[in-house]
Amino acid sequence: MYQYDGYDQAFVAARAAEFREQVGRRLTGQLTEDEFKPLRLKNGLYLQLHAYMLRIAIPYGVLSSKQMRTLAHLAENYDRGYGHFTTRQNIQFNWTELRHVPDMLDLLAEAGMHAIQTSGNCIRNVTTDAFAGVAGDEEVDPRATCELLRQWSSAHPEFAFLPRKFKIAVIGANADRAAMKFHDIGLRAYPGENGLPRYDIWVGGGQGRTPRVAQLFEADVPFERLLPTLDAMLRVYNLHGRRDNKYKARIKILVAEMGLEAYRAEVYADMEGRDLSPFAEAAPEYERILAHFATLPLPEGEDVTISGDGAFGEWIDQNVTAHKVPGYAVVSVSLKARGAIPGDATGEEMRMIADLAERYSGGEIRVTHRQNLVLPSVRAADLEAVFEALVEAGLATGNIGLSSDIIACPGLDYCALATARSIPIAQALSERLRSREIRVRQEGRDASGPTLNISGCINACGHHHAANIGILGLNKAESESYQITLGGRADEGAAVGEILGPGFTAEEIPDVVERIIETWDAHRAEGESFAESYARLGKDVFKAAVYEEPVNVAA
Amino acid sequence: MAKVRGPKGPSILTANEILSGEVVYWSGDAWSRSVDDAVRAGDDGARETLTATGKAEEDANRVVGAYLVVLDAVTSVPVELRERRRLAGPSFPLPHSAPHAA
Ligand code: SF4
């Protein structure tokens, strides 16, 4: 994996030292909260509902075992023993104390990590396919592009105060495992000439209160034009993005208001006559970065077919994916055990994953945007041993990609912006859906089901718009009410879900969701996914099933 | 800046302690972690005093984000959902390292 060079290392260490000094000035009263707030946000420190929350960047979701142990150490020594992996492939600590943050940032810097640009109106952590570099279906490893973009966007002086935050995702396979089209800019990399990729550039995707699927800005852009084009795209956005209304400030609104054609014309006009010589560095830098990822220092594994029964069989079917090197497998570790809090891991669990990665997966771990972890390169012959170790830690739930693999944001149990809770809803659904999955599998039937995502407010950090079944928590007259959307998709067929109808109470949600799944089961054509059935059936059949008969509320 | 949120009614002053970030309530002469210690303002004059106290305490760098929470006059429960949740804390046991069921 990529290692910081001396420049990166010195930069993050200097930023940590700078923040220590700023905290010192805050505590002696030299800085007021109004002055300090933008500084703490620049370093990922929020004030949430109950406490300060520190959001730490995990660049494109890649962690070494050593870095995971640093996170475990922070969880155990500076928080309440756990952390929360987010849909942005980052981690958040919910119970941080201001007095400890400088020490935490020092420890992170030592491990080659930081919390810079995890907040504020800047280019955020670039996200990607959690299977990057190892996926059997991959054409280009997106990590080198991500790292190039990390370097380009980190402390980019022109883009430090954009109209609003800016999110970029990169993929290099047909299958979209990064919700690429729900980003401000999405890149699909293809193999190009001389080992340098070409890109389709997508723009204007996003969630929040105005969900949009990105549109194709330009297809087949050669590597040399990638950074100049992104620079110009950001520059035009920076100039024209709405700063008067934060709900209209994202690039998706600008592109919708200007029209894609006009936006594109302005970007090209901006590029004209610009000195592109600074970008000449990009190609040699890309090659240098690529060398870090020319991993797979893996000896060819023995190509064995692994299968099994019971829990091991389910785990193999759901959590183990084809690797590009024969004899290896990609192992997903579910953070969605029955009744668990999606994305939460204790320090002990983090340490255990770090150890497993070191022993079985080249010391590398990935964080997925679905809030799970990945051991990217496990020898097929070691799968059983890995499974046994995960069973012991309670991390062997074989539900990756099933409905109980729920995305949920922190919601009103932690988040200062929330309108309702999301975690207890996820927990109740997980209990219900996991029972169904186990039962259906025991009956020898297909246990797959719709994707299910939950957000605690319209900001949609829980990606509810992009789920087959989305749940949005709202505040109706100071009570929680949950709105359901159907038909959203985060994959290559990206789509925004449609609102089903009036909302439900928290208690009603498990029955409502179960009824939706049963309705799908009853109307489903052979082998059809929920999204496919929904596209064919429309929402009326689901609406009738949910609203025409009263929903039983479980006691 | 202290600000009054939501409807009017009996109110208490809350904030987050600057160093620890913990939720605290104004007891009349100090900040307490327990809402039971909170002094209640029953009229506009008392509310203004509490608001001024919040501002002064922020200026003294002891707390951040001070504001008034309005309580139901009968039940003494915060009127706003957000404040009820903030008062109650997370609604589940926090994760710990005992293994989960598969
Ligand atoms: S969706 Fe809303 S409640 Fe959930 S984390 Fe984002 S801002 Fe908070």
Q: What is the DSSP letter of A411?
A: G
pLDDT score, position B2:
47
Q: A124-135 b/e with 16+ CB inside 10 Å = b? A: bbbbbbbbbbbb
Q: Which residue of B has its CA nearest to A76?
A: B96
Number of alpha carbons in the 13 Å side-chain half-sphere of residue A399: 34
A126-181 tens-digit pLDDT = 999 999 999 999 999 999 999 999 999 999 999 999 999 999 999 999 999 999 99
Beta strands in A323-413 (DSSP E): 328-333, 344-346, 364-367, 373-379, 407-408
| Cα distance between residue A338 and residue A340, in whole Å | 6
Residue of B82, B84, B87 to mutate when probing chain A, most A C-beta within 10 A = B82
Per CB distance under 8 Å, which residues of B are interface residues toward A?
1, 16, 18-23, 58-61, 64-65, 79-82, 85-86, 89-92, 94-102
| Cα distance between residue A75 and residue A53, in whole Å | 12
For B81, the closest of A95, A340, A478 (CB atoms) is: A478
| Cα distance between residue A86 and residue A543, in whole Å | 31
Ligand 1, CB cutoff 6 Å, lining residues: A 409-411, 415, 417-418, 455-457, 459-462
Are the beta carbons of A365 and A374 closer than 8 angstroms? yes
Query: Going by CA atoms, what residue is nearest to atom 2 of ligand 1?
Result: A457
Put simply, the chain A residues between 15 and 54 with a CB less than 8 A from any chain B CB are 26-27, 29, 32-34, 47, 49-52
Lowest-confidence pick of A136-140, A199-203, A418-422, B98-102: B98-102
- What is the residue-wise DSSP string for A503-534? -B-TTTHHHHHHHHHHHHHHHPPTT--HHHHH
pTM of the model: 0.95
| Cα distance between residue B12 and residue A476, in whole Å | 24
Tokens of A293: 């990822």
Average pLDDT on B51-76 reads 95
| Cα distance between residue A399 and residue A403, in whole Å | 8
Is the per-residue pLDDT at B23 higher than 60?
A: yes
φ/ψ region of A403 (left if φ > 0, alpha if ψ in -120 to 50, else beta) reads: alpha
Average pLDDT on A420-431 reads 98
Residue of B67, B94, B96 to mutate when probing chain A, most A C-beta within 10 A = B94
Residue with token string 């389910």: A314
Is the per-residue pLDDT at B38 higher than 60?
A: yes
Report the candidate in A101, A53, A56, A46 with the shortest Cα–Cα distance to residue A77. Answer: A101
Average pLDDT on A247-254 reads 96
Q: B53-69 b/e with 16+ CB inside 10 Å = b? A: bbeebbeebbbbbbbbb
Average pLDDT on A279-294 reads 92
Measured from the Cα of A418, ligand 1's closest atom is 3
Q: Which residues neighbour A533 within 8 Å (Cβ) at sequence distance 6 or greater? A: A520, A523, A524, A525
For B85, the closest of A34, A345, A412 (CB atoms) is: A412
**Ligand 1 centre and the CA of A94: distance in Å?**
14
pLDDT score, position A554:
44
pLDDT score, position A344:
98
| Cα distance between residue A215 and residue A201, in whole Å | 9
Cβ distance A420 to B81 less than 8 Å, yes or no, reads yes
pLDDT score, position A295:
61
Is the per-residue pLDDT at B99 higher than 50?
A: no
Is the per-residue pLDDT at A298 higher than 70?
A: no
φ, ψ for residue A329 (rounded to 5)? Answer: -140, 155
Cβ distance A51 to B20 less than 8 Å, yes or no, reads yes
φ/ψ region of A17 (left if φ > 0, alpha if ψ in -120 to 50, else beta) reads: alpha
Banded model confidence at residue B8, pLDDT cuts 50, 70, 90: confident
What residues in A contact B98, CB-CB < 8 Å? 394
φ, ψ for residue A322 (rounded to 5)? Answer: -60, 140
Provide the greatest CA pair distance for chain B: 58
Put simply, the chain A residues between 413 and 442 with a CB less than 8 A from any chain B CB are 413-414, 418-421, 423-424, 427
Could you give all domains of chain A from N- to C-terminal order, each with its CATH number? 6-110 (3.90.480.20), 135-293 (3.30.413.10), 310-393 (3.90.480.20), 407-547 (3.30.413.10)
A358-392 tens-digit pLDDT = 999 999 999 999 999 999 999 999 999 999 999 99
Banded model confidence at residue B97, pLDDT cuts 50, 70, 90: low
Is the per-residue pLDDT at B102 higher than 90?
A: no
Residue with token string 């589940």: B92
pLDDT score, position B5:
52
pLDDT score, position A518:
96
pLDDT score, position A1:
80
Report the candidate in A47, A10, A433, A453 with the shortest Cα–Cα distance to residue A211. Answer: A453
- The mean of the pLDDT values for chain A is 94
**Ligand 1 centre and the CA of A88: distance in Å?**
12
Banded model confidence at residue A555, pLDDT cuts 50, 70, 90: very low
pLDDT score, position B7:
57
Chain-centroid distance, C-alpha B24: 6
For A50, the closest of B19, B89, B97 (CB atoms) is: B89
A168-205 tens-digit pLDDT = 999 999 999 999 999 999 999 999 999 999 999 999 99
Tokens of A5: 């060079």
Is the per-residue pLDDT at A92 higher than 90?
A: yes
pLDDT score, position A305:
75
Number of residues that this document lists for chain A: 555
Banded model confidence at residue A283, pLDDT cuts 50, 70, 90: very high
Using CA atoms, how far residue A175 sits from A28, A132, A171, A316, in Å, is 53, 11, 9, 20
Tokens of A421: 């809770």
Is the per-residue pLDDT at A475 higher than 90?
A: yes
Put simply, the chain A residues between 83 and 122 with a CB less than 8 A from any chain B CB are 95-99
Measured from the Cα of A473, ligand 1's closest atom is 3
Average pLDDT on A206-222 reads 97
What residues in B contact A27, CB-CB < 8 Å? 18-19, 61
pLDDT score, position B101:
43
